[in-house]
A and B are shown apart, each in its own frame.
Chain A
Amino acid sequence: MSWTIHHSKSEEYASQAEVALKQGDAERAAKLYQSAAEEEGTALTKLDTSKVRTLGITTISAASLWFKAHNLRQAERVAFQWLATDFLPDFAIDQLQTILQSIWNEKIYRQSGIEFMKGEVLVSVGGGEVVTGGAPLHLILRKVDEVRSFFYRTIEMLLNLPFRRHGSPSSDIQEQFRPWLLQAPPGSYQFAVRVQKPAQMSLFREATPEVEEITRKFLKIVEDAAKETHEDLESTVPNPEYRETFLKLSRNLAPTGKSFDRLEIKSATDMEARPIVFSPTSRQAISKTLREIKRPSEEKMQLEEEQVSGVLRALHLDQDWLEVSFPGTDRENIRISHTGDVIDDLVGPMVNHRVIVDVALRPDGKRLFRDIQSEE
């Protein structure tokens, strides 16, 4: 029998597997994928190695089918077997290496026994001090922390929890929904984040299926926050407190243009999805929106506005103040009061980093807090 016959049989099984998957029958799909992989493997043995393109495509297909049949060992074997030859074209070598990376990731997940929620987010920073595959550690640590805060806020909103003004997420939330930092393909500099599936999903039965879509919701909020108008964000995040916090978290993510000038967030699992791009202009646009969200009490107060640029040296939110210092100058530290609206997870990562604080000056010289953002 020829390559054509075996490949056709493989196609037939694979199509049936796809239909089974659509019907939610994963077990039957895996069996069908295995039959498809076996046929594709046989097809490979019937192929004239001078048919380079057909050989490349069939090899990728065979390795992928074993992968989809959850037989990682066999998928790895097919990839190694053909990568060891000189017959494969470049495109096939490249794709087989990608499949191998997926196999190894999958093996690590299986060995660890960790189950993840749907979807994966890819965060990429570029420009400025960032080089391909490398970035200043403090910058990446900040971004990881900010993304984690964003995820926890998304989870709390999906669970309809009261808005958290102080402190970290509850220990229940932190224990049940653990974000993981995963290796990502090299880019300007990028990392991937996934959320571990709660061990006790039943605790959140009332919030399912929404809570199973954490990653999708996270991406939607980020996308809407990055838009020039915020009508979409109002519909995605109806609660004004959550909405304002998401805007501030998004502004923190956006670059100032000093240490990096571009941050992209996209789905790692939906390759067609449009990346959400933050530039220094996005930061300005979000700041403008935030300034427009004035509370009635603020509108009544006609005080002189000032912007303070320095290092956030101290913070005491329970006593309602923060302190900014000015290293390298003779200027004394200044204390800014009325920080009542400051949210812990927004301002916490800024301690000991350069910040810009918007303040209102009272006639007695006292500075009242209005807004704070990172200057790095």
Chain B
Amino acid sequence: MTIPLLPLNDLAERHHGLTPALAESYLEAARVCLDWHHEPPQEFTLKNRASEQQVLVEWEPPDELCQGAWANKDDATRDGAYACALAATELSLGLLAVRRAETRTGADYYVAPIDRQTGDLENCLRLEVSGTSLDTYEVHRRLMAKVRQAKEGKSNLPALAIVVGFQVKLISMQSVEGTS
């Protein structure tokens, strides 16, 4: 059986919430994060509540210039996680980033099925992304924290929480129903 490829390249062609420049920037960050721990290609586990599948991750190793541009590890991890998370929702759930909305400190992406993209945000899911270079425990802890936040707080919208573990080769996701 052929292992499917995580579609990291040309994200902006399919995810209309991304511009080509931003998609390229996220991809660069992902290449840097992946390169901290591995050599291409690698098999990652894509896990959600109901299932688990192996995906193949291929990337072009970053040159020194690219590594220098992403010297800030926090920025690289956050943006690299966006690329991997968007590719994972596309591959696993058929969801694409359709809208971007600003938050105080960054931006949220809203995802919707390919065939159900409407002119507003009433039926979109908010994508909650986190990345880490720590262990499997940390991937799980972050996912649970995101799910708990969404369940407890009033700042809720239906969301899809995804945590990308670069070192442990794990992308873990869970949908969260909002209360608003």
Contact = CB atoms under 8 A, between A and B. Distances in A.
Interface stretch (A50-58, A145-153, A323-331): A50-58
Interface in B100-143: 100-105, 107-108, 110, 119-122, 130-132, 134, 138, 141-142
A197 B143 CA distance: 35
Contacts of B141: 274
A91 B121 contact: no
Given A4-B119, A51-B122, A15 B157 contact: no
B42 interface: no
Nearest to B126: A57
B18 A15 contact: yes
A98 B74 CA distance: 23
- The secondary structure that dominates the A interface is helix
A278 interface: no
A65 interface: yes
Contacts, number: 94
A53 B180 contact: yes
B19 A57 contact: no
Interface string A34-65: 00100010000001000101101110110011
A132 to B, nearest CB: 15
Interface residues of A, number: 40
A90 B19 contact: no
A99 B19 CA distance: 26
Contact of B121 (A2, A12, A15, A54): A54
Interface in A1-38: 2-4, 7, 11-12, 14-16, 18-19, 22, 36
Interface string A244-278: 00000000000000000000000001111010000
B120 A3 contact: yes
Nearest to A89: B180
Given A54-B120, A274-B141, A14 B155 contact: no
Contact of A19 (B22, B121, B122): B22
Interface string B136-180: 001001100000000001111100000000000000000000101
A95 interface: yes
A51 to B, nearest CB: 5
B114 to A, nearest CB: 17
Interface string A97-112: 0110010000000000
Given A12-B19, A15-B18, A15-B21, A102 B104 contact: yes
B99 interface: yes
A14 B138 contact: no
B17 interface: yes
A16 B23 CA distance: 11
Interface in B53-72: none
Given A54-B122, A270-B74, A272-B130, A65 B19 contact: no
A191 interface: no
A274 B103 CA distance: 21
A3 B142 CA distance: 35
A3 B119 CA distance: 8
Contacts of B156: 91
A60 B101 contact: yes
B47 interface: no
A67 interface: yes
Contacts of B100: 11, 14-15
B155 A91 contact: yes
Contacts of B154: 90-91, 94
Nearest to A270: B74
Contacts of B134: 274
Contacts of B22: 15, 18-19
A88 B157 CA distance: 13
A36 B102 CA distance: 10
A95 B21 contact: no
Nearest to A274: B138
26 contacts: A3-B119, A7-B99, A15-B100, A22-B25, A22-B75, A40-B102, A51-B120, A53-B157, A54-B121, A54-B122, A57-B110, A57-B121, A58-B101, A61-B103, A64-B104, A65-B102, A67-B104, A89-B180, A91-B153, A91-B157, A91-B180, A95-B103, A269-B105, A270-B74, A272-B78, A274-B134
Given A11-B99, A57-B108, 6 more contacts: A4-B119, A16-B19, A22-B25, A54-B122, A91-B180, A94-B155
Interface of B: 17-19, 21-22, 25, 74-75, 78, 99-105, 107-108, 110, 119-122, 130-132, 134, 138, 141-142, 153-157, 178, 180
